């Protein structure tokens, strides 16, 4: 069991972040063991052979795929913003002090630690990102943003105990201690006011990953809601499209996870102006509602909309 003791200051510092660098790391780990990650089979079929054979990724593969448990901490810094940009995260990896890289590698590999530089790893992460993940990022980002919106609402409505418990069956919360069920592991951390960053992940599924040792900002990475829909486009039912029109039926189907106008436009290929107009009609019909979170406006299906999409 891995346990993290959260003080009131840590709870006040809980925030959400989306991390492209982590998706690089997690997706490479998926390629190591395809049988355990069948939900990503469509993506693996397209990319696994080329990625595992690419000489441009040799050092990054060795750092990510070889370790069975702990990973070098510098590979995926905690995101500094709600939706970190890939270039900014790769720049953060590049800026890691050489001494920190050496310490991280020694902690994972011991005396057999490879001699790598943060510059080389950042370059390889960018190379991999552009070929294996960037083409899918608009849809990935939309699903991850929807998860953040849902979890933030649960935190506000039901409090940390319910929100933490719903992240994953392996996660529990009791007496100010956040626990993650990890077999053959018995370790505890006091976060000491450093807060906690919750990072939804598509490629983490079906696992939960924690980084809480200093000097890193504490991070808990958990499987995002809707991961099963990432590689499968389920068209709206023909009868729903006939009633609402194909564009509105598609948008209502996509609103299984809370989404912004921008993310819906990215995922569906519809023009942002058209998306806004269609969403306004769905809201007027009582099939969707608007929800503001900071500067963003999210749309989500109402119970009436749910019943229309999934009758019976």
Question: Tens-of-pLDDT digits for all 312 residues of the chain?
Answer: 899 999 999 999 899 999 999 999 999 999 888 778 888 988 999 999 999 999 999 999 999 988 877 889 899 889 988 888 999 999 999 999 999 999 999 989 998 888 899 999 999 999 999 999 999 998 888 888 888 888 888 888 888 889 999 999 999 999 899 999 987 778 888 888 889 999 999 999 888 999 888 778 899 999 998 787 787 655 566 677 777 888 998 898 888 777 889 888 887 888 999 999 999 999 998 888 887 766 778 888 887 888 888 765
Question: Taking the CB of residue 28, how many other CB atoms lie within 10 A of it?
Answer: 22
Please state the pTM of the whole predicted model. 0.79
Tokens of 220: 């808990």
Considering the domain 233-309 in this protein, what is its CATH number?
1.10.10.10
Are the C-beta atoms of 279 and 294 separated by less than 8 Å?
no
Sign of CA dihedral 168, 172, 176, 177: negative
The residues spanned by each domain of the chain are: 2-227, 233-309
Which residues make Cβ contacts (< 8 Å) with residue 119, sequence separation at least 6?
94
């Amino acid at each position: 069991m891995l346990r993290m003791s959260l003080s009131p200051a840590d709870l006040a510092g809980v925030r959400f972040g989306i991390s492209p660098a982590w998706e690089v790391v997690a997706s490479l780990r998926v390629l190591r063991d395809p049988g355990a990650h069948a939900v990503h089979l469509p993506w693996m079929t397209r990319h696994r052979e080329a990625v595992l054979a690419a000489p441009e990724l040799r050092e990054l593969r060795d750092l990510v795929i070889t370790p069975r448990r702990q990973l070098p901490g510098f590979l995926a810094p905690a995101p500094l913003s709600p939706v970190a940009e890939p270039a900014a995260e790769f720049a953060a990896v590049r800026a890691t002090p050489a001494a920190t890289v050496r310490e991280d590698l020694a902690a994972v590999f011991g005396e057999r630690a490879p001699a790598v530089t943060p510059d080389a790893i950042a370059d390889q992460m960018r190379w991999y990102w552009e070929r294996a993940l960037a083409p899918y990022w608009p849809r990935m980002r939309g699903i991850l943003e929807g998860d953040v919106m849902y979890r933030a609402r649960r935190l506000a409505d039901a409090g940390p105990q319910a929100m933490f418990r719903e992240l994953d069956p392996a996660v529990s919360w009791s007496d100010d201690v956040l626990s993650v069920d990890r077999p053959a592991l018995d370790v505890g951390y006091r976060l000491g006011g450093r807060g906690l960053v919750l990072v939804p992940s598509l490629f983490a599924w079906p696992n939960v990953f924690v980084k809480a040792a200093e000097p890193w900002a504490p991070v808990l990475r958990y499987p995002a809601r809707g991961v099963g829909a990432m590689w499968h486009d389920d068209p709206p039912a023909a009868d729903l499209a006939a009633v609402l029109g194909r564009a509105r039926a598609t948008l209502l189907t996509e609103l299984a996870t809370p989404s912004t106008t921008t993310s819906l436009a990215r995922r569906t290929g519809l023009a942002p102006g058209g998306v806004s107009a269609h969403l306004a009609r769905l809201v007027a019909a009582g099939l969707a509602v608007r929800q503001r979170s900071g500067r963003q406006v999210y749309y989500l299906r109402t119970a009436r909309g749910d019943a229309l999409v999934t009758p019976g």
